[in-house]
A = this chain, B = another copy of it.
Amino acid sequence: MPSATEQRIIDAAVRLFASQGYDATSVQEIVNAAGITKGALYHYFRSKDDLLFEIYRLLITAQSADMDRIIGLGLSAGETVREILASLVSSTAERVDETAVFVRELHRLGEERMTDFRAERRRYHETFLAVIEKGQADGEFSSQVPADTVVRIALGVVNQLPMWFRPDGPKTPGQLAGEIADFVLAGLR
């Protein structure tokens, strides 16, 4: 469990990285925004890169846990797809800054961490894929469009969400999640 100071560093970093980008944000700006000093930051994080990676880790961990929980419910393919999308859209809408940083700065991951990340994403991807393929095999979904393309489309929208979603916009995360799920499921009939 992170200390209060650690949490403030992460919060400040996420906000700044999201609005300016990782490289354009100096460590000094982060510590100023967090109301601490460099000494404190380097007490908790080994490097600026480590701080970025910690943001990734928190996001990925939460998403994977959500996915596993939903799969565990044992719903039908259609209901599972709806639940996954609803949960993903909602959690992404609530953490737009984290997601924006994540999507934009992914390429900064070093070789080793990139490998780890790809493995985790692949697992996530294939879990989702399996749900759709099962739905297709059972005749619940149409097989007109390959399952992997459907997954790409569905996850693509979510990753792009930070580009246009605004918390003060006309639609609540819940509404949006419903509309997106409706559309994806309509495409699978």
Q: Which residues of A contact B (CB under 8 A)?
A: 19-24, 103-108, 142, 144-146, 149-150, 152-153, 155-157, 159-161, 163-164, 176, 179-180, 182-184, 186-189
Contacts and interface: CB of A to CB of B under 8 A. Distances in A.
Copies of this chain per assembly: 2
Looking at chain A's contact residues, the main secondary structure is: helix
A127 to B, nearest CB: 16
Given A104-B104, A156-B157, 12 more contacts: A21-B108, A22-B23, A23-B24, A104-B107, A149-B176, A149-B179, A152-B160, A153-B153, A153-B180, A156-B159, A156-B163, A183-B187
A189 B159 CA distance: 25
Contacts of A149: 176, 179-180, 183
